[in-house]
């Protein structure tokens, strides 16, 4: 298979074909039935299948929020500022999320989207090393800005759903400049669900969580290994009320089932 085959397919199907030909009515209904707006892309590793809803939004750069924990985990591991087994010590401050109010491992911090944990890692990494890494891995606009502990939450970093897909593809093929041990650890940490027939690796994100301003941005990105194929997905959606946050995973999982992937 040619290098970056998925990139070529996405470029052709998203940037060249008309939106009418690219639009997937099945995916569109998953959003309209819930009365929310958003985009969803699903593409396979072979590069011969793409399902897409809302081309324009798929190309819109947005804050990555906690989906940045995927590259952030790799960066932290590669820089040696944390180990997979290390316990990050809670300082006793109640941050309003019960799951955060305890010591964390890297695995629990990732699964609980523990903001203070990754802010501590950011302090260990520093903005200069982030700038270098973001350029090396070509992540979104590769601009952390000056906000060391908030650039992925409310700062200058932006990434589109299309760019998320391209990043995930390179991540899966291990085409990014990380150590094999870092890739191995991330795979263990990122595994969210394992059932007969598939393994799901994913991360949620919610830019603006807990704030009053709406709409906020919800994310769900990752990939599914089915045994015979690998499928990548990237969803982002506008969240206007807290209850809509659950739609991120619901829409993706329903889409994967409707497309016969899982």
Residue 23 and residue 55 in contact, taking contact as beta carbons nearer than 8 Å? yes
Q: How far is CA 143 from the centre of its chain?
A: 17
State both tokens at 166.
């391209």
pLDDT at 17 (0 to 100)? 44
Tell me the C-alpha distance between 202 and 191, whole Å: 7
Domain annotation covers residue 28 = no
Q: Is residue 117 part of a domain?
A: yes
In a domain, 29, yes or no: no
SS (H, E, C) 91-133: CCCCCCCHHHCCCECHHHHHHCCCHHHHHHHHHHHCHHHHHHH
Closest CA to 23 of 66, 52, 3, 64: 52
The two structure tokens encoding residue 94: 């109640």
25 within some domain: no
- Domain of 94? 5-18+34-258
Say how far apart CA 43 and CA 220 lie, in whole Å: 14
Domain presence at residue 120:
yes
Low-confidence ranges of the chain (pLDDT < 50): 1-4, 16-20
Q: How many domains does the chain have?
A: 1
pLDDT at 116: 98
Neighbouring CB atoms inside 10 A of 33's CB total: 11
Using an 8 Å Cβ cutoff, are 220 and 147 in contact?
no
Reply yes or no on whether 37 is catalytic. Answer: no
Q: What is the pLDDT of residues 169-211, one digit of tens each?
A: 999 999 999 999 999 999 999 999 999 999 999 999 999 998 8
Q: Per the domain annotation, does 24 fall within a domain?
A: no
Residue 23 is assigned to a structural domain of this protein:
no
Look-up: residue for tokens 């979104």?
Answer: 140
For residue 149, tell me if it sits in a domain: yes
Q: What per-residue confidence (pLDDT) applies to 3? A: 47
User: The tokens 């300082």 sit on which residue?
Assistant: 91
Residue 172's domain is classified under what CATH number? Answer: 3.40.710.10
Block residue for tokens 């305890």: 102
Percent composition of the chain: helix, strand, coil (DSSP 3-state, to 5)? 45, 20, 35
d(CA 58, CA 41): 8
Among residues 37, 66, 150, 154, the one annotated as catalytic is: 66
pLDDT at 210: 81
Contact status, residue 203 vs residue 70, Cβ threshold 8 Å:
yes
Q: What is the model's pTM?
A: 0.93
């Amino acid at each position: 298979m040619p290098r970056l085959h998925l990139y070529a397919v996405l470029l052709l199907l998203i940037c060249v074909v008309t939106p009418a030909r690219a639009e997937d009515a099945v995916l569109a209904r998953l959003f309209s039935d819930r009365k929310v707006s958003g985009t969803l892309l699903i593409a396979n590793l072979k590069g011969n299948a793409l399902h897409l809803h809302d081309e324009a939004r798929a190309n819109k750069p947005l804050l990555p929020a906690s989906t940045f924990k995927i590259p952030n985990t790799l960066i932290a591991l590669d820089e040696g500022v944390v180990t997979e087994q290390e316990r990050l010590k809670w300082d006793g401050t109640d941050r309003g999320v019960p799951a955060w109010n305890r010591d964390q491992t890297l695995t629990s911090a990732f699964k609980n989207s523990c903001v203070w944990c990754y802010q501590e890692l950011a302090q260990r990494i520093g903005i200069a090393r982030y700038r270098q890494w973001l350029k090396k891995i070509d992540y979104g606009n590769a601009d952390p800005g000056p906000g060391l502990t908030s650039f992925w939450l409310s700062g200058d970093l932006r990434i589109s759903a299309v760019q998320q897909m391209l990043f995930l593809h390179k991540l899966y093929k291990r085409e990014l400049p990380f150590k094999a041990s870092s890739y191995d650890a991330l795979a263990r940490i990122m595994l969210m669900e394992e059932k007969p027939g598939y393994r799901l690796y994913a991360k949620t994100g919610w830019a603006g969580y807990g704030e009053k301003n709406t709409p906020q941005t919800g994310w769900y990105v990752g990939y599914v290994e089915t045994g015979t194929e690998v499928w990548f997905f990237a969803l982002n959606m506008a969240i206007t009320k807290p209850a809509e946050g659950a739609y991120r995973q619901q829409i993706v999982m329903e889409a994967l089932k409707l497309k016969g992937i899982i």
